[in-house]
């Protein structure tokens, strides 16, 4: 009878250890699943953010184009001609700036700086 009780207590102890081991194992599996789900959620959040930013940029571009078209439509013929002339001037200035930046400045646009010292002729009078 004591032997049966000892055997039953031993089995209960083993069962407790087994339950604890199983709980640790399952907790590890659940932890892995939660980490994977978290990584997936972060990735989906990044994609959603990128899509939202693109939609906002597209909407802003569309509004800007609409305002531009409205402004141009409301201009008189003389104002549009003045605008065309000014844009042509700005295009020319941009080409000149690009040429200067790349070192392709025409000779007639170069200012020469004289760096030579004046020659001493021995006359110290002013």
pLDDT tens-place string over residues 4-56 = 888 888 888 888 888 888 888 888 888 888 888 888 899 999 999 999 999 99
pLDDT of residue 112: 52
Burial track 39-68 (b if 16+ CB lie within 10 A, e otherwise): eeeeeeeeeeeeeeeeeeeeeeeeeeeeee
The fraction of the chain above a pLDDT of 90, given in percent, is: 41
Asked if pLDDT for residue 125 goes beyond 90, the answer is: no
The fraction of the chain above a pLDDT of 70, given in percent, is: 83
pLDDT of residue 120: 61
pLDDT of residue 111: 56
Whole-number average pLDDT of the chain: 84
User: Averaged over 97-114, what is the pLDDT?
Assistant: 69
Cα pseudo-dihedral 52, 57, 63, 67, rounded to 10:
170
Q: How far is the C-alpha of 104 from the C-alpha of 98, rounded, in Å?
A: 8
Asked if pLDDT for residue 110 goes beyond 80, the answer is: no
- To the question of pTM greater than 0.85 for the whole model, the response is no
């Amino acid at each position: 009878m004591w032997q049966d009780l000892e055997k039953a207590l031993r089995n209960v102890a083993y069962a407790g250890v087994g339950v604890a081991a199983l709980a640790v194992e399952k907790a590890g599996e659940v932890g892995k699943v939660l980490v994977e789900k978290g990584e997936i959620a972060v990735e989906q959040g990044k994609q959603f953010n990128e899509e939202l930013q693109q939609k906002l940029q597209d909407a802003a571009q569309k509004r800007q184009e609409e305002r531009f078209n409205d402004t141009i439509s409301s201009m008189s013929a003389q104002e549009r001609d003045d605008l065309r002339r000014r844009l042509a001037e700005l295009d020319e200035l941009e080409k000149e700036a690009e040429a200067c930046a790349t070192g392709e400045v025409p000779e007639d646009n170069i200012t020469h700086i004289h760096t030579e010292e004046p020659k001493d002729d021995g006359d110290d009078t002013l």
